[in-house]
Amino acid sequence: MRIIRSIRHKSCADGTLMKEFVLSAPLTEEFFMYLKGFGEVAAKPGIGEGFYTFEKPDCFSIKGFAGDTSVEVRFRHEVIDLTTDFVYSLFALYRDGDPDLVTLKRREAKVVARVHEHLYGR
């Protein structure tokens, strides 16, 4: 699954920058379960069947419905330049349930280190 293009951007009241992306394939419940290895995933049945959220603290969040070919990503404004490529990698390296976890974990460690250095000086 790949991000094909961004179709909407907006600045949010909480200081994040929201981007809506069109995907090459529909989101699946399995995709959100894969994301658990990189942050916090929650199913939100009160909003609608198959609605999930993902939170990568200090970096970004992802919201979407299983079955949709679009997804909302909210980036922390201060670190969007450091985290955007990692978001693209999460989608591109998923490969329909056969993710390249070694590459992703290596990229994640580098991104988190850079984000924490930028935000907290460590």
Which domains, from first to last, does the chain contain?
3-120 (3.30.310.10)
How much is the pLDDT for 44?
81
- Angle formed at CA 40 by CA 108 and CA 63, multiple of 5 degrees: 95
The overall pTM is greater than 0.85: yes
Strands of the 40-43 sheet, one edge to the other = 3-11, 16-23, 70-76, 60-65, 51-56, 40-43
> Cβ–Cβ contacts within 10 Å for residue 67, how many?
11
Number of Cβ atoms within 10 Å of the Cβ of 120: 8
SS3 string of 44-80?
CCCCCCCEEEEEECCCEEEEEECCCCEEEEEEEHHHH
Look at the alpha carbons of 10, 40, 36, 53 in this order and tell me if their dihedral is positive or negative: negative
Helices 101-120 and 80-92 cross at an angle (nearest 10°) of 170
Q: What pLDDT does residue 122 have?
A: 67
47-104 pLDDT, tens digit per residue, is 777 999 999 999 999 999 999 999 999 999 999 999 999 999 999 999 877 888 999 9
